[in-house]
Amino acid sequence: MANGKEVIGGPVMVGQTTLPMSMAVRAGDFVFLSGMLAMDEAGDFDFSGDIAEQTRLTLEAVERLLVQAGCTRDDVVKSVVYLKDRGDFGAFNAAYGAFFDTAPPVRTAICTDFVVEGVRVEIDVTAYVPGQDA
């Protein structure tokens, strides 16, 4: 772990372009995930669904990356949620609550526009996993 941090999940690719960011970074006992979007198990983006479906797919992508980092959704201590439309908050909250159904993390929710067309939700999380330093 160089400089006390470990990059997890490989480079972030959009098409053939590598973005100057990491999918996730472990620093000490914390794991920080970049903002995640709706994607299937193969890692392909899928923005065709409504807010509930995009939230579900986004949180499943979060969970897959957490597993790569050696932690679970139960280790998440904070999330930041970006919504395209404040009218989606109720349906988003229902899907989010089904995912974090026990001891949910603290959360900030922000309404914003997105660079990528069709995105309705983006979620980044911070997990705490004591004693996992490499």
Q: pTM value?
A: 0.91
Rounded Cα–Cα distance for residues 92 and 39 (Å): 16
pLDDT at 1: 53
Strand partners, 78: 106, 126
Alpha helices in the chain (DSSP H): 51-68, 89-99
pLDDT in tens, 7-31: 998 777 777 888 888 999 999 999 9
CATH of 2-128, one of 3.20.20.60, 3.40.50.150, 2.10.109.10, 3.30.1330.40: 3.30.1330.40
Token code pair at residue 111 = 């309404």
- How far, in Å, CA of 129 to CA of 120, rounded? 30
Instruction: Tell me what the pLDDT averaged over the chain comes to.
Output: 92
Residue % of the chain over a pLDDT of 70: 96
Please give the chain's pLDDT, 134 residues, in tens.
556 889 998 777 777 888 888 999 999 999 999 999 999 998 889 999 999 999 999 999 999 999 999 999 999 999 999 999 999 999 999 999 999 999 999 999 999 999 889 999 999 999 999 875 55
